[in-house]
Amino acid sequence: MSTQNRVAMISGASRGIGAAIAEKLLAEGWAVSLGVRTPEASVFAGNPSALVCRFDALDPQSERTWVDQTISHFGRLDGLVHNAGMMIPKSVLEAEDADFDLIFNVNVKSPMRLSQRAWPHLEKAAAGRVVTVASLSGKRVKSAGSGLYAMSKFAAVALGHGLRQCGKDSGVRSTIICPSFVATDMGNALANRDSTELTQPEDLARIVHMVLELPRTASIAEIPVHFSVEDCY
């Protein structure tokens, strides 16, 4: 089908932040293409405004197929939300080559490849947008055990800035969202506090929706988000 609604691709949309973003965009009249590892298990399967596709950040072919299926189904692409990611709780002294390769493949190389594949379609949109859900760990290193993760998130933030420069003339805008702990499975396991005190996935979904709908004359580079207050954020 083709649609007059704006269309956004969202990686890692099976649960947590990605699912909340999908729900928010659908409620606001967007159509969504969701990249998940097991499409048949998606709660969005059967929604006429949602396309659920197999996506694996370690499988470049799945990225190409997902973009192609999105364009074939909807006929357009207006937004790309990089949400899929992983955490390996190791310091830079503990991390092995395999750890480095895995976390950088998922957190950096896959969103870079997806951006490359989706870019020509975003340039055709009236207001092409890329949103990278990174982390405050892409702005500072909070602990030794988050060192490897922070390295990958610093790189993800740099990717978002690199995309901003690429879209300077075409009007494709790129924004990086940098949250601290979020009330997801990963955030709850790491934060060691009541999940009701943390930033909620729905909070980030509202921010992503706002960024996607801003005009090109309101280009926001980064949005740090903290559930409370720390020294810098």
Q: What pLDDT shows up at residue 3?
A: 59
Q: CA-CA distance, 206 to 202, in Å (whole number)?
A: 6
Say whether 149 is catalytic: yes
> Residue 15's CB: how many other CB atoms inside 10 A?
15
What CA–CA distance (Å, rounded) separates 197 from 74? 39
- 74-118 pLDDT, tens digit each: 999 999 999 999 999 999 999 999 999 999 999 999 999 999 999
Length of the chain: 233
pLDDT single digits (tens) 150-164: 999 999 999 999 999
51 by DSSP, 3-state: which? strand
Distance CA 79, CA 77 (A): 6
User: Are the C-beta atoms of residues 63 and 110 closer than 8 Å to each other?
Assistant: yes
How many other C-beta atoms are found inside a 10 Å radius of the C-beta of residue 133?
28
Q: What is the DSSP letter of 105?
A: I
pLDDT confidence tier of residue 2, bands split at 50, 70 and 90: low
Domain regions of the chain by residue span? 7-225
pLDDT of residue 190: 80
Percentage above 70 pLDDT, the chain: 98
Q: Which CATH class is domain 7-225?
A: alpha beta
What the block records as the tokens of 93 is 């002294």
Query: What percentage of the chain reaches a pLDDT higher than 90?
Result: 89
Is residue 233 pLDDT above 80, yes or no? Answer: no
pLDDT in tens, 161-197: 999 999 999 999 999 999 999 998 777 778 778 889 8
Q: What is the pLDDT of residue 77?
A: 98
pLDDT > 60? residue 230: yes
pLDDT of residue 18: 97
- How far, in Å, CA of 84 to CA of 14, rounded? 10
pLDDT in tens, 188-223: 778 778 889 899 999 999 999 999 999 999 999 999
3-state helix, strand, coil split of the chain in percent (to 5) is 45, 15, 40
Per-residue confidence (pLDDT) for residue 166, from 0 to 100? 98
Q: Which two tokens stand for residue 101?
A: 């390769």
Residue 1 has pLDDT above 60, yes or no: no
Mean pLDDT value across the chain: 95
Q: Choose, from 149, 154, 181, 227, the residue flagged as catalytic.
A: 149
DSSP code string of 220-233: --EEEE-SS--S--
- For 55, 61, 140, the CA distances from 66, given in Å and listed in that order, are 7, 9, 33
